[in-house]
Amino acid sequence: MRDGIARIYSPEGLLLKEIPYLSGRVEGVVKTYHPNGMVAESYQIVEGRRNGSYESYDTLGAPLTTLNFYNGLIMKIEPPKIPDLTPDSAGEQKFDLASVKLTDQEVALLAKYRPVIPPGDPAVYSFHDEPATFLRGEEEFYSRLFYPSRAIEDELEGTVIVRALINTDGRVDSLEVVQKLGMGCDESAAITVQYTDFIPAKIKGRTVKAWVDVPVHFKLPKTSN
């Protein structure tokens, strides 16, 4: 199991990226570098998600952009102030969640700023502009889905929902059944999703590793009387 910092180098031997690992998964501050050795980007991964500040720099080390993330979501450009909840003030002050919403000006800035999601980003995202979809379409997916004979005999119909983690190659890294149907349908749905290729999710045009809920429908064929 990998622990420590993994360093990625160019064919010329230049340091391109540093990725910290803890117990086999990315955890800590990820850094990318300019060819001259200066830090290009720096951001933190906590439990598989972006948390804290994202900072980018030019080749001379001057800051270009600072964004703030909480559980993978972009918050305001400047972090919100946390009130002083001392015994005297705890009853008077409340943390206003509305204060972390983006203003129209900040939304316009982010729409123009593409490097928010850097190439090779190891984070897992629960949000996206475009969700992961079947690479070969629903018809191909259902052509491989096995309808258990016991479920057919009992005329069981319904939907199984499989939550799958799709990596940037469109493969399933892990999955779990979050809505069950029983009689072998759950296992059949999970196996079919596991061996399905996807078009990865995207944020601002870049592929990202993200969760997707896949509804798998079991419906008996219509019979003519």
What is the pLDDT, as a whole number, of residue 92?
44
> Which pair of tokens denotes residue 10?
């160019």
What is the pLDDT, as a whole number, of residue 2?
72
Q: Report yes or no: 66 and 54 within 8 Å, Cβ to Cβ.
A: yes
**Distance (Å) of CA 16 to CA 34, 40, 111, 138:** 7, 9, 26, 39
pTM of the model: 0.52
Q: Report yes or no: 198 and 189 within 8 Å, Cβ to Cβ.
A: no
Where do the CATH 3.30.2420.10 domains begin and end in the chain?
A: 133-218
**Alpha helices by DSSP H, the chain:** 104-112, 137-144, 149-153, 185-194
User: What is the secondary structure of 76-109 as a DSSP string?
Assistant: -SSPPPPP---TTTTTT----GGGGSPPHHHHHH
pLDDT tens series, the chain, 225 aa: 677 888 888 888 888 999 888 887 888 899 999 888 889 999 888 887 888 888 888 887 888 877 777 766 666 544 434 444 444 444 444 434 344 455 666 566 555 544 445 556 666 776 678 999 999 999 999 999 999 999 999 999 999 999 999 999 999 999 999 999 999 999 999 999 999 999 999 887 888 888 999 999 999 987 765
Q: Report yes or no: 30 and 8 within 8 Å, Cβ to Cβ.
A: no
What is the pLDDT, as a whole number, of residue 137?
95
What is the pLDDT, as a whole number, of residue 82?
42
What is the pLDDT, as a whole number, of residue 108?
61
Where do the CATH 2.20.110 domains begin and end in the chain?
A: 4-81+92-125
Domain boundaries 4-81+92-125, CATH class: mainly beta
Q: Report yes or no: 126 and 210 within 8 Å, Cβ to Cβ.
A: yes
Domain boundaries 133-218, CATH class: alpha beta
> What phi and psi values does residue 31 have, to the nearest 5 degrees?
-130, 140
What is the pLDDT, as a whole number, of residue 111?
55
What is the pLDDT, as a whole number, of residue 114?
43
